[in-house]
Amino acid sequence: MKDSDTTRSGIRAGVDIGGTKLAVCLSEGEDGRGRPRLLARHSEPTVKTGAPQALAQQLMRLLAQACAEVGRDAADLAAVGVGACGPFVLKDGQIELATPNICGGLAELPGGPPNDWRSVPLEALLRPHWPALRIENDAVAALEAERRWGALQGLDHCAYLTWSTGVGVGLCVDGHVLRGKQGNAGHAGHSFVGDDAVDAWCGCGNRGDVEALVSGHAMAQRYGRPARALLEAAEAGDGAALLAVEQVCHTLGRLLYNLVVTLDLQRISLGGSVFVHHADLLLPRLDAQVRSRLPALTAGVELVAAGLGPEVGDYAALALVS
């Protein structure tokens, strides 16, 4: 980003677009830990009705509300960083969202989002208002935040994995963050680690991919209770819940192993709504899955909870423009 792009105001905005909620925050300067100093935060369930432009309009409304709270005008924001669930598609060179968790026209399962959207225009609607705009996959944004302020500081071979409504990954090798031809590098949640789950369907249409087996939505479908309730039951010693936890950790552990041996990673930090509140239960099981195979490639690799904890989404978006 050029210096001229950031001279309109000291306030920057971060936007976290997920399949469940949309959150915006404002920052100016640094706090005592060297992180962006948060001024305001607003969130709502992600809009999934109306025209495809509704999501961008919701985002702009929330930014206006947050700016009004601190006595500023949204038009004066220095820069806006957007971390969004993907995949992305490019239309006339500009980013649109094409995620089945938001776009009902892409969902392959009954009960998907209540719209016929096939993509959501984002960059084309936002950039005229904020020329200093940067949009990245939310896991890539979280990776950048974790490398700057969290558990991945000082590392050139690392990854961030979010375990939430979906499963996403941000990747860094030789100090370079990987993005791919349309910014979709790291969609490992749609990869396969086995072929024995023929009844597990992902919203994207895949049958038996990682997201279809371990995402928060998938866990509720497979085990008959919300992911949080299932994990809390496991923490309380419920035998059936503990068996379910072993199964999902076996699946996600295979994905983590594949990342480690493919990219020769030093450390992976993990976050997301499924993981972050149950790290003590999940992390040792995932770590055991990775370490159980081929120590020549896995010895010394660390799995850690995200250093930014539940706030990783806010800092992720701000890392794009700070």
Confidence of residue 112 (pLDDT cuts 50, 70, 90): confident
183 plus 254 within the same structural domain: yes
Confidence of residue 197 (pLDDT cuts 50, 70, 90): low
Determine, yes or no, domain membership for 312. no
> What DSSP assignment string belongs to 154-208?
T-SSEEEEEESSSEEEEEEETTEE---TTS-TT-GGGS-S-S--TT-B-TTS-BS
Q: Read off the pLDDT of residues 46-75 as tens digits, 9 standing for 90 and up.
A: 999 999 999 999 999 999 999 999 999 999
Range of the domain at 90: 3-137
**β-strands 120-121, 302-305 pairing:** unpaired
Give dist(CA 149, CA 154) in Å, integer.
10
Determine, yes or no, domain membership for 320. no
Which strands make up the sheet holding 133-137, listed edge to edge?
Answer: 36-45, 21-30, 12-17, 79-84, 133-137
Q: Which of 104, 137, 170 is the last residue of a domain?
A: 137
Q: Mutual orientation of helices 239-263 and 216-223 as an angle, nearest 10°?
A: 140
121 plus 55 within the same structural domain: yes
What type of residue sits at position 218? A
Q: Which of 137, 159, 174 is the last residue of a domain?
A: 137
Q: How much is the pTM?
A: 0.91
Range 125-142 burial, b when 16+ CB lie within 10 A, else e: bbeeebebbbbbbbbbbb
14 plus 104 within the same structural domain: yes
Determine, yes or no, domain membership for 79. yes
Q: Which of 35-39, 198-202, 275-279, 292-296 has the lowest mean pLDDT?
A: 198-202
273 plus 180 within the same structural domain: yes
Q: Which of 110, 137, 164 is the last residue of a domain?
A: 137
95 plus 242 within the same structural domain: no
The CATH number of residue 28's host domain is 3.30.420.40
Q: Read off the pLDDT of residues 138-163 as tens digits, 9 standing for 90 and up.
A: 999 999 999 999 999 999 999 999 99
10 plus 90 within the same structural domain: yes
118 plus 253 within the same structural domain: no
Confidence of residue 111 (pLDDT cuts 50, 70, 90): confident
Average pLDDT in the 81-99 region? Answer: 95
223 plus 271 within the same structural domain: yes
Give dist(CA 156, CA 65) in Å, integer.
38
Determine, yes or no, domain membership for 19. yes
180 plus 237 within the same structural domain: yes
Say how many domains are in the chain.
2
Determine, yes or no, domain membership for 77. yes
130 plus 206 within the same structural domain: no
Determine, yes or no, domain membership for 142. no
117 plus 164 within the same structural domain: no
167 plus 294 within the same structural domain: yes
**Angle subtended at Cα 299 by Cα 296 and Cα 301, rounded to the nearest 5 degrees:** 125
Determine, yes or no, domain membership for 50. yes
Give dist(CA 204, CA 291) in Å, integer.
31
Q: Shortest CA distance to 285 belongs to which of 245, 237, 229?
A: 245
Determine, yes or no, domain membership for 24. yes
Q: Indicate the SS3 state at residue 30.
A: strand
Torsion region of 115: left, alpha or beta (phi above 0 gives left; psi -120 to 50 gives alpha): beta
The rounded mean pLDDT for the chain is 92
